């Protein structure tokens, strides 16, 4: 394939797509959404909200959601199949926890290994009860509280999903629920809840964020335009930076500061990434990005930036493998409990493609090729462990390799980026 050129537009932001469906389903009236990501994860959220009483239909380029109101969720008649979506599972557990209904959550083999105890703990304090599989995993059953209790909860790990689960449980809880964030994580829930009319306040005290939400909320329907997903754009940003001759414009990319860490790190490495037409859509900052081929230099990545790019580290590792010098990452224990153990899986995959690296307990140390293409994998297939981001990251590594990279299974890519392969072919044609 040749360099990446022209203009492309990546699918809608996954985090915002999930929340637009959930919050629309909790508003009274019709919420209309354009740019919704139609991947399997978001469709799992839509199916679950339909099962609990909301009407969700596609009409042309628009999705229309007729909600049931906070407190109005209905008892689902069958188990809620979350597929591969950790976001759907943890946020919906929060919603169910303070409604007087019972729901069973199931998922695929990958999701069924992921820990849910970090959500079960605070939601139990609010009055919900749980029956989980060994290790606090799926399948699990949630019995929502008949009368929920507001709590003050300090997040033990930096997790937007845990924070959001508690805030969503707080929507149908009398009084004020407080979440204390020692380390800021992506704030789409806070922005969108305010947009839907929830009473939500944020204070900064001694470097910590304290989020207050008043329960028994009355959410108002909205018209939402979903910006392009920065986590999806990340693959094309790195591909253009490492493929000689590339000059690519990626339109309509969400640049929420709690999500834009990868762009900052790649610029520190010498990547040329320019922003044009910066604007705000639905409370979210958006811009078009022009990315041109650059000689990257290895750096020590500040662990404090990890929460703002936690999903982008697999593709950053690819960029590091092609940079001049050594890139060191640390503070990434969270990557071991994603769709796969992303530190271990990426270390194995990149080694198979010819990269030189060491795997540490909390990160990777990668010695780059100085711009020389990776060897590739010839006839061996890289194991992706049902992880969409591993599959896409190694596809980008294949672009920058001599023999290409064979991937064992591209099907998981559909969970977040259904047209990834078609868009990559378009950009390199």
pLDDT tens digits, one per residue of 53-62: 999 999 999 9
Residue 48 domain-assigned (yes or no):
yes
Q: What is the mean pLDDT of residues 89-107?
A: 98
19 is in an annotated binding site: yes
- Do residue 265 and residue 360 come from a single domain? yes
- Do residue 189 and residue 247 come from a single domain? no
Domain that holds residue 363: 227-428
Q: What percent of the chain has pLDDT over 70?
A: 100
pLDDT at position 94, please?
98
Would you say residue 2 has pLDDT above 90? Answer: no
Rounded-to-10 torsion of CA 264, 268, 272, 273: 0
Residue 218 domain-assigned (yes or no):
no
pLDDT at position 281, please?
82
Q: How many domains does the chain have?
A: 2
pLDDT tens digits, one per residue of 375-409: 999 788 999 999 999 999 999 999 999 999 999 99
Q: What is the mean pLDDT of residues 414-421?
A: 94
Would you say residue 152 has pLDDT above 80? Answer: yes
- Do residue 231 and residue 364 come from a single domain? yes
- Do residue 76 and residue 117 come from a single domain? yes
Among the candidates 212, 246, 271, a domain finishes at 212
Residue 371 domain-assigned (yes or no):
yes
β-strand 381-382 against 363-367: which pairing, if any? Answer: unpaired
Would you say residue 1 has pLDDT above 70? Answer: no
Q: What is the mean pLDDT of residues 214-240?
A: 96
- Do residue 368 and residue 392 come from a single domain? yes
Among the candidates 188, 212, 236, a domain finishes at 212
Q: What is the mean pLDDT of residues 267-279?
A: 97
Would you say residue 282 has pLDDT above 80? Answer: no
Q: Compare 416 and 262 and report the one with higher pLDDT.
A: 262
Residue 108 domain-assigned (yes or no):
yes
14 is in an annotated binding site: yes
* Integer Cα distance of 247 and 240 in angstroms: 7
CATH number of the domain residue 350 falls in: 3.65.10.10
Q: What is the mean pLDDT of residues 71-99?
A: 97
Answer whether 232's CB lies under 8 Å from 41's CB.
Answer: no
pLDDT at position 378, please?
77
pLDDT at position 98, please?
98
Answer whether 321's CB lies under 8 Å from 355's CB.
Answer: yes
Mean pLDDT of the residues in the chain: 96
Residue 73 domain-assigned (yes or no):
yes
DSSP result, 333-390: GGGGGSSS-HHHHHHHHHHHTT-EEEEETTEEEEE--TTPPB---TTPEEP-TT-HHH
- Do residue 145 and residue 243 come from a single domain? no
Q: What is the mean pLDDT of residues 133-142?
A: 96
pLDDT tens digits, one per residue of 156-214: 988 999 999 999 999 999 999 999 999 999 999 999 999 999 999 999 999 999 999 99
Among the candidates 212, 242, 263, a domain finishes at 212
- Do residue 188 and residue 243 come from a single domain? no
- Do residue 270 and residue 297 come from a single domain? yes
Residue 9 domain-assigned (yes or no):
no
Would you say residue 307 has pLDDT above 70? Answer: yes
Residues identified as active-site: 311
> Which residue's entry shows tokens 């190694």?
394
């Amino acid at each position: 394939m040749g360099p990446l050129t022209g203009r492309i537009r990546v699918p809608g932001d996954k985090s915002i797509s999930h929340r637009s469906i959930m919050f629309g389903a909790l508003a009274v009236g019709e919420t209309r959404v354009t740019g919704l990501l139609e991947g399997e994860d978001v469709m799992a959220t839509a199916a679950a909200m339909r099962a609990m009483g909301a009407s969700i239909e596609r009409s042309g380029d628009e999705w229309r959601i007729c909600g049931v109101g906070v407190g109005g969720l209905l008892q689902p008649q069958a188990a809620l199949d979350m597929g591969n979506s950790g976001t759907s599972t943890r946020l919906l557990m929060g919603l169910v926890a303070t409604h007087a209904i019972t729901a069973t959550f199931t998922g695929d083999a990958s999701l069924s290994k992921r820990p849910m105890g970090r959500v079960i703990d605070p939601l139990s304090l609010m009055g919900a009860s749980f029956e989980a599989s060994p290790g606090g995993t799926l399948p699990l059953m949630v019995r929502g509280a008949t009368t929920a209790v507001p709590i003050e909860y300090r997040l033990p790990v930096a997790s937007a999903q845990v924070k959001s689960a508690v805030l969503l449980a707080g929507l149908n809880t009398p009084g004020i629920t407080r979440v204390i964030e020692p380390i800021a994580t992506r704030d789409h829930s806070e922005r969108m809840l305010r947009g839907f009319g929830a009473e939500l306040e944020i204070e900064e005290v001694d470097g910590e964020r304290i989020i207050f939400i008043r329960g028994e909320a009355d959410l108002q329907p909205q018209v939402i335009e979903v910006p392009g997903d920065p986590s999806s754009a990340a693959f094309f940003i790195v591909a253009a930076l490492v493929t000689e001759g590339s000059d690519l414009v990626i339109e309509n990319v969400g640049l929420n500061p709690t999500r834009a860490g990868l762009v900052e790190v790649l610029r520190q490495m010498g990547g040329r990434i320019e922003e044009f037409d910066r604007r705000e859509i639905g409370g979210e900052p958006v811009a078009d990005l022009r990315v041109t081929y650059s000689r990257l230099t290895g750096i020590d990545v500040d662990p404090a930036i990890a929460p703002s790019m936690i999903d982008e580290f697999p593709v950053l590792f690819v960029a590091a493998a092609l940079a001049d010098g050594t890139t060191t990452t640390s503070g990434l224990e969270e990557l071991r409990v994603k769709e796969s153990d992303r530190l271990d899986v990426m270390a194995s995959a990149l080694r198979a493609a010819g990269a030189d690296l060491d795997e540490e307990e909390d990160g990777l140390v990668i010695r780059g090729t100085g711009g020389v293409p990776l060897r590739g994998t010839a006839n061996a297939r890289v194991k992706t462990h049902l992880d969409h981001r591993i599959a896409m990251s190694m596809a980008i590594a294949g672009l920058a390799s001599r023999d290409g990279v064979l991937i064992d299974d591209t099907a998981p890519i559909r969970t977040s980026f259904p047209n990834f392969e078609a868009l990559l072919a378009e950009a390199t044609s």
